[in-house]
Chains A and B, each alone.
Chain A
Amino acid sequence: MKRTFGERLVRSGIRLPLILWSLAVLYPIFWMFLGSFKSNAEIYANPWGIPEQFNFSNFVTAWTEYNLDTSIFNSFVVTALGAVLCLVLAVPTAYALERIRFKGSQMLFTLYISAMMIPMVLGWIPLFFLLAQFNMLDSIIGLSVVYAMSQLPFTIFVLTSFMGTIPKSLEESASVDGMSPYGILWKIVTPLTMSGIITVTIMNAIQFWNEYFMALIFLQSSENYTLALAIDFISNEAQYTNAWGVLFASLVFAILPVIILYSIFQRRITKGMTEGAIKG
């Protein structure tokens, strides 16, 4: 079918905002990468253009003088520890809530789910003193626990819906063969739920890697800073030191792992997030 002139006009009229919005999304990100290669003088002289030459000195300075190496290491530890702890706590509970009939199971599920909607900011004040009592304030371990707990309801929620799709017959025949429930959970259900586990773990990891506010409250000394805190610190300091190039370089460090994960797991991430929002 031939398209009329009018249809073509409508089509290009609709394309234009799409193209403009892609520019609005992509340009600031590209620009951040470009800025990380510029000297401070060049950032002032030519803030939005291509750098004259690509030099990596900003990255080196950020890494060595601003202790970004420690912050990146801390962020990795918090991310990994938080994600693992969250799984360890969520998998058995999700399985019990999905598969075992017991009194109050629906109530417990509702309790976990409603915790997703409650503003945790109220809890952060008592949590601050609780962590202080446990000697977990200003500690990477303490922050990992807090992170794991913050994503626990969401993780349970995603995992139960994944486990609901596994046919029960596999567990039943394993049980007839004499496998204990612990064995079934570990050797049958966990491998079959792997897809869900991977999806939710990637999303949790991105969340923990990016998190800023809880780190701001629960960490104090600079050697415990996560990357987000270190960047915030460099940003505040840059008002006086004008170390913009270093700031951009540290932003690049923060965004690179997310870009890599997104390019590998794009489908999983988008699917997981939309489903989480629909049912949540």
Chain B
Amino acid sequence: MVQTKKQKYLFLAFCLVPTFIMFSIFTLYPLFSGLYFSFFEWSGTSQTREFVGFDNYIRLFNDEIIPDTVWHDYFLVATKVIGIMVMALFIAVALTQLKIKEAPFYRIVFFFPNIMSVVVIGILWMFIYNPNLGLVNSGLEMIGLEEWTRPWLGSETWALPSLVLPSIWAGIGLFMLLLMGGISNISKSYYEAAKIDGANEWQQFWKVTLPLIWPQIKISILYIVITTLNGSFIIVQVMTGGGPNNSTHVMGSYLYQQAFTQYNFGYGATIGVMILVLSLITVVLLQLLLRRDRVEY
């Protein structure tokens, strides 16, 4: 049977149009409409939606909390990138290069937190940090460092750093697997050649492994940065709600507070635009920064 042109286009429309309509309504329209909302003052409930031009943006630049939220986001980005990459690299190299019998066990265990709900992770770690019952404080007491115990999530200085550990805990597995995939694709002959040249294991790591898995490292870093900027507020919302005294608010949790608890929907949308712009700029800059000639031996 030869299809007529009309039949072909009918089939094409059947495949594409319903999905695209849904996508336009529930994804494209809200994004563009968010941009539009950022120029209005709107409490949501009433019909009075007032066009205010760039007022929300002026307010954004004068809001004292905003620079803190941006700093908190990038603090989480930086600490997560370093923590996850160092640990994931170590684990990936250990599990692939040194023939450890129980390697599959570690792989399965380390990945599991990646598919746990943020709610479960957040609540578990709230208990680990609990001032009276928590593992952290009782552990410190056990090794005689009582003066180091503190209400971790209740302290303005320590609450934000305390959020890093659960994020690393939950994030390592995926990147470990990514890097392991890269390492196992490296041909054994490179290592043999390096050995003949007298390179020790440490040098092999720096000269052979690292350059050859650079693409995977780059992808991992980008992925951590994007997911953190677009989603760090979830763990913040569960564990601290932005407190104490705004010391853990990130851009997303501040947006949630402004829009959905204080009903400043216009201003919330303006914060959303800021998140969009910052994450786009960050990704573009990172791509330039991480560009490195492809290594082939």
Contacts and interface: CB of A to CB of B under 8 A. Distances in A.
A255 B123 CA distance: 12
Interface string A199-232: 0000000100111110011000000000010011
Contacts of A21: 87, 91, 110
B136 to A, nearest CB: 11
B148 interface: no
Given A95-B15, A178-B1, A231 B119 contact: yes
Interface stretch (A51-59, A60-68, A190-198, A267-275): A267-275
B206 interface: no
A26 interface: yes
Instruction: Pick the most buried of A11, A43, A273: most chain B CB atoms within 10 A of its CB.
Output: A273
A102 B12 contact: yes
A135 to B, nearest CB: 15
Contacts of A278: 178, 181, 216, 219
Contacts, number: 221
A51 to B, nearest CB: 15
Given A123-B30, A274-B178, A152 B123 contact: no
Interface size class of B (residues with CB under 8 A): 35 or more
Given A181-B11, A277-B178, A152 B108 contact: no
Contacts of A277: 174, 178, 219-220, 223
Looking at chain B's contact residues, is the secondary structure mostly helix, strand, loop, or mixed?
helix
Contacts of B226: 117
B110 to A, nearest CB: 6
B276 interface: yes
A262 B115 contact: yes
Looking at chain A's contact residues, is the secondary structure mostly helix, strand, loop, or mixed?
helix
A92 B16 contact: yes
A112 interface: yes
B26 interface: yes
Instruction: Pick the most buried of B91, B120, B135, B229: most chain A CB atoms within 10 A of its CB.
Output: B120
Given A235-B123, A251-B123, A119 B276 contact: yes
Contacts of B90: 17
Given A47-B133, A122-B30, 10 more contacts: A21-B91, A92-B19, A102-B12, A119-B272, A175-B1, A212-B237, A212-B238, A266-B108, A270-B111, A270-B177
A34 to B, nearest CB: 12
Contacts of A124: 30, 272
Nearest to B275: A119
A182 interface: yes
